[in-house]
Amino acid sequence: MEVLKQIIENINYIGALALFVIGLYTVVTHSNLIKRIIGINIMGTGVFYFFVSIGNVVGGNPPIVDLDNGNLIYINPLPSGLILTGIVVVVSITVYSLSLVVRIYETYGTIDQDEIAKIIDQETFDD
């Protein structure tokens, strides 16, 4: 019962870890490059969710100061502010890797990593 209570109280952390593991599973098991990029995005979402959860305070208010009422408890604004940097970085690496995939498709005609490896092997074998 104690374990169940702890799990329910910290369900957002467990959800964040589940997102991270799902993303890692997608990156490792799929050979389609687009699916791998989606996996990296899911992993990033898990990390952001974990980071923002740290700043939460049970019963706290959003960090917009109420000037009429001075005795409110506010949640921690620091993780929310810092995670904006992470979101920007994930957007940047997503677009960069997508453009690399476009180039790979133009060169090899496929976006499956195993087939690309086969084509490269064939080329080195022919030489």
Partner 1 sequence: MDDIILRTISRLIIPFIEIYGVFIILHGHVSPGGGFSGGAILGTSLILYTLVFGVEKAQKKFSHKVSDIAESGGILWFILIGLVGIFVTGYFLTNINAGFPIGEPGLLLSAGMIPLLMIGIGIKVASTMITLFHTVIEEAHHGSA
Partner 2 sequence: MKKSVILLIFFALFILLVSSLFTMPIENSVFAPSYNATTRYYIENSVRETGAINLVAALITDYRAFDTLGETVVLFTSIVAVVSILRVSKKTKGV
The answer to whether 33 and 99 are in contact (CB under 8 A) is no
Q: How far apart are CA 48 and CA 23, in angstroms?
A: 13
Q: Which one among 60, 62, 77, 109 touches partner 1, defined by CB under 8 A?
A: 62
Q: Which is nearer to partner 1, 22 or 40 (CB)?
A: 40
Q: Looking at residues 29 to 48 of the shown chain, list those that interact with partner 1 (rule: CB under 8 A).
A: none
Q: Determine the length of the chain.
A: 127
Question: Please, what is the minimum distance in Å from the beta carbon of residue 125 to partner 2?
Answer: 27
Q: How far apart are CA 58 and CA 11, in angstroms?
A: 13
- Judged by CB under 8 A, does residue 106 bind partner 1? yes
Q: Which one among 1, 4, 58, 71 touches partner 2, defined by CB under 8 A?
A: 58
